[in-house]
Structure 1
Amino acid sequence: MTQETSARPASRLGRTLLPLGLLFLSVGVSVALFNPFLSLFLSTEVDAGPIKITIFLIVAPLGGVLASSIIGRFSDRRPIRRALLISGAAAGVFGTGVTAVVRDYWVLLALSVTAFAIAGSLFPQSFAYARQVLERDDPARAPMGISALRTVFSLAWVAGPPLGAFLLATGGFVWIYGTAALMYALAALVAVFWLDEVPARAHRASDDPADRPVDAGRWTLWLTAAAFTLLQTPLTLAVQALPLFIGTELQGDVGDAGLLLGLCAALEIPLMLGLGMLAVRVPLRRLLFAGAACGIAYYTVAATATGLGALVAGQALNAMFIAAVTGLGISYMQNMLPGHPGRATTLFTNGFPLGAMLAGPLFGLAQHFDYRLAYWLCTALCAAGLLLLIVVRNDRPTRHA
């Protein structure tokens, strides 16, 4: 193969990943604009009480998990992933556009399990689309490409909340949700005019069965998904407890919590990129094990901290944990279902909302006893997730006919 012909896949890959990066950034910013202020929106603009807010915060993620699971299974059967990206972005435009002007609780609850639930499928479906493109053009670099695109979401969450706070102070929630609608519209335009439909991997009857993609067994998949749910639960629990823990135990304030979160986010981005490049040469399992071990180490440091200095120093471990689990976990699940990238990605991404729901009662437990308990619980969750990943191996795959 000549240098010119070998450069063609890389060139085509770059042309595809660029618009995908823009789509990822648009979707990430749109969610980062309104999601941090959802409870404030419900309590001040909608005048919802604690019970209604709790119901909303439980029903909305459940609706998203259900919608993403259905769409994930459907997306692998036909070459329609680009159409699903367009539909998800259009649903986001509708949901945020209506929310910008409507303040009726029941209408907004209905939107959360319809329009916003469908828009939530953009996250897994974007990664599934990226996986198909990477498998087609440069399979060896698939983990690196997925990690690079995952960093775009981190960048969106670095910029989104401060921008949302500025919009809230300037024009209120109308501006927040209106801007989010514009970002979803940009994502839809990128998908319409810049992305091509990628056909599902096809296999001829004459192919050697040994060369066909191999899926992990059902129990292996479910247990691995459970492991990632356990590992993602601390991402919510630790953030919920951080400002209160700093204020009550470490004599700090809310500003210190913000600085710690910003430091962690800044460290995550280069670590995600570095782990993605390292994954070309090192097995994903080893990198995930190392990342989970960093999580255990960080939450142990946090649980035993007597001052802010320990938490500042520990952010390198925290960022390594988050970068490994959220950056490489998607590729790990996709490798277990090579013929079903939509279902695989959804199995992983559903772990975050499920973990957020699990974090709620655990946070209540920490409130009742001691905020330091939240970090011991995070340590136990990371240890349990790591143990599951070690025990569960893809040793008995099921071949696709």
Structure 2
Amino acid sequence: MAQRPHGSKRTTSGITSPMFSALLRIIRDPYLRIPTLTLFVAGFTYASTLPYQSMIGIGEFGLSDGLYSMLIFAAAAINVAASVLLGILSDRLGDRRPLVLALTIAGIFGYGLIYEVRSVPVFILCVLFLIPVSNSTFSILFGSIRATTNEIAPREAVSITSTVRAIYSGSWALMPGLVGLYLAHSQSMMPAYAVAAAASLACFCLYFFFVPRSVGKVGGATFGEEGFFASLMRLLDPALMIRLGAMALITGTQRLSTTLSPLITTQMVHGTVTDVGFLSGAVAFLEMPFMLFWGAMLRRFHNVHVLVAGALLYSTHLTLVSFATETWQLYALVGINSCGAAAILCVPISYLQDLIADRPGLGSSLIAVNMFLSGGVAAILFAIGTAIGDYSETARVGVASGLIAVVLMLMLDGKRSKAATA
């Protein structure tokens, strides 16, 4: 988005409730409102297709399990590379409007071609290239928001970021169920990609019609102040890599739980597929208010402390799940599950951006890097856990990973966080 020119001052509203002041700030400020609304709509593209992509690729197009696995891994790697490269480019340009427009066009064609052509080569091409590149919109938009919030108080900035993440989660709470209801009466799941293409078109229209072109240098632009390779080398800084590793352990534990949840529900406590749907829906629904709650806490506490609290809550939930023997026990844990997951999903965004605070685009690209790493961590933990025991034992392996990550985070940033809150 075209950032506000330097020197433009903004005042903080005197709203007593921190939970709602961030939301009102987003609504009133177009430099926050349009990227946030675009993120919400962009969430429709992911939320309407990801739950059904494997069923379409394997079930409708006949891809083997191995080929589909390689396709998804390669697509994730391309998404990381695109996010990092485009993040660096966005910092040099400052004006992120052209990038968002180009990426949404990639989404229109990527999702639209799968729906219209319906062939294996087109599916592979789009899933491997067009869609992963289009998904870089996520980090570019968060980079735009970060460039704007860099001009305000840090505590308010992280609260705004968490609120934006909560709004984005709304698309995940809404779309899978709606698309699922429609597809229940359809012989093909392809219409999910038509929904995603329409959402990409809506994102394009939002930025094309409501975001003005920039004139001159704008906030967040670095131009030639740091070369491309110098920016890229900042990702190899040992201190940054250690923190990325610790963060990947925390978020990887959450992703492991997402994999284990339906397996424990149906095989360990003998629940039904309906229970799986109700449990996942309840968690997704409650995550939104909990994200707003954690956003309010970020005004009073450092993001590391909030993240550690969330990780400990989630580890407690995962420990209790590992001992569950009845379905009602899983339902009883929905609250603590949602509360801990909300912190793990929203707080890392501001933490990762802070690692390269002077480069909003490059810092936001770490979100994609973390998602890639956490997927690898979840796969490794799953392999270790299932090698030594059942799914309950695997959950306890995840708990150990989460606790190790908490210790690492406190060792790395705990003292600095205390100094910041003093």
The TM-score by the shorter chain falls in which range?
Answer: 0.7 to 0.9
- Structure 1 residue ranges (4+ consecutive) displaced by more than 4 angstroms after TM superposition: 7-13, 137-140, 364-368
Residues 100 and 177, structure 1, Cα contact 8 Å, conserved in 2: yes
Counterpart in the other structure of 1:64: 79
Aligned to 2:178: 163
SS in 2 for 1:136: coil
Aligned to 1:185: 201
Does the 8 Å CA contact 1:288/1:329 hold for their aligned counterparts? yes
Structure 2 counterpart of 1:242, one-letter code: S
1:280 to 299, 317, 322: 299
CA RMSD of aligned residues (A): 2.8
Contact kept in structure 2, 1:300 and 1:376, CA below 8 Å? yes
Q: 1:276 to 1:40 in 2, by over 3 A?
A: same
2:155/2:300 contact within 8 Å kept: no
1:330 positional shift: 0.9
TM-fit CA distance, 1:118: 1.2
Aligned to 2:110: 95
For residue 99 of structure 1, report the CA deviation from its aligned partner: 1.0
Contact 1:216–1:394 (Cα < 8 Å) also in 2:
no
Q: Structure 2 CA distance, aligned partners of 1:279 and 1:380? A: 26
Corresponding residue of 1:25: 40
Aligned partners of 1:60, 1:168: CA distance in 2, in Å?
A: 25
Matched letter for residue 374 of structure 1: T
TM-score scaled by structure 1? Answer: 0.87
Instruction: Establish whether residue 80 from structure 1 lines up as the match of residue 100 from structure 2.
Output: no
Match of 2:58 among 15, 20, 43: 43
Shift of 1:249: 1.6
CA positional deviation for 1:201: 4.1
Query: Residue 185 of structure 1 aligns to a residue in which SS?
Result: helix
Q: Pairwise mapping of residues 137-286 of structure 1 onto structure 2 (< 5 A)?
A: 140-171=155-186, 172-196=188-212, 197=214, 199-201=218-220, 218-286=237-305
| Deviations 1:218-275, CA, capped at 9 Å, x for gaps | 2221111112211122333222222221222212112112222122112211111111
After TM superposition, give the deviation of residue 187 of structure 1 in Å: 0.6
Which residue of the partner structure matches residue 399 of structure 1? none
Change beyond 3 A, Cα 1:360–1:10: closer
1:312 CA displacement: 2.4
For 1:12 and 1:360, the matched residues in 2 are separated by 39
Deviations 1:278-306 (A, max 9, x none): 21121112111111111221111111222
Over 3 Å counting, the alpha-carbon distance change for 1:143 and 1:7 in structure 2 is: closer
2:139 alignment partner AA: P
CA offset digits 1:4-53 (Å, max 9, x no partner): 98479959953333322321111101110001111100112211122212
Displacement of 1:173: 3.2
Q: Which residue of 2 aligns with 1:388?
A: 408
Measured in 2, the distance between the counterparts of 1:106 and 1:5 equals 51
The Cα of 1:74 is off from its aligned counterpart by: 2.1
Which position in structure 2 is the counterpart of 1:301?
320
Secondary structure of the equivalent of 1:80? Answer: coil
Give the letter aligned to residue 195 of structure 1: V
Distance (Å, rounded) in 1 between the aligned partners of 2:12 and 2:219: 24
Measure, in 2, the Cα distance between the counterparts of 1:249 and 1:7.
51
Match of 1:110 in 2: 125
Q: Secondary structure at the match of 2:138?
A: helix
The Cα of 1:359 is off from its aligned counterpart by: 2.6
Please give the per-residue CA displacement for 1:74-115, whole angstroms capped at 9, x wherever unaligned: 222221322211111111111001111234334322323321
For the Cα contact (< 8 Å) 1:300–1:375, is it kept in 2?
Answer: yes
Structure 2, unpaired ranges of 5+: 1-8, 14-23, 223-233, 417-422
Match of 1:15 among 30, 54, 59: 30
Q: Whole-Å Cα distance in 2 between the matches of residues 260 and 40 of structure 1? A: 21
Query: 1: CA distance between counterparts of 2:339 and 2:321?
Result: 15
Picking from 327, 331, 342, the partner of 1:312 is: 331
Candidates 131, 142, 154, aligned match of 2:146:
131
The total of aligned residue pairs comes to 382
The one-letter code sitting in structure 2 at the alignment partner of 1:389 is M
Of stretches 359-368 and 329-338 in structure 1, the one that deviates more from structure 2 is 359-368
Q: Which moved more, 1:236-245 or 1:23-32?
A: 236-245
CA distance in 1, matches of 2:254, 2:26: 36
Q: Percent of aligned pairs with the same residue? A: 24
TM-score w.r.t. the length of structure 2 is 0.83
Name the SS of the counterpart of 2:179 in structure 1.
Answer: helix
Task: Give 3-state SS (helix, strand or coil) of 1:100's partner.
Answer: helix
User: Following TM superposition, by how much is the alpha carbon of 1:138 offset from its aligned partner in structure 2, in angstroms?
Assistant: 6.0
Corresponding residue for residue 372 of structure 2: 353
CA separation in 1, counterparts of 2:407 and 2:153?
A: 32
Unaligned runs of 5+ in 1: 204-214, 397-401
- Tell me, yes or no, if the aligned pair for 1:294 and 1:321 is still in contact at 8 Å: yes
Output the CA distance in 1 between the equivalents of 2:119 and 2:399.
Answer: 41
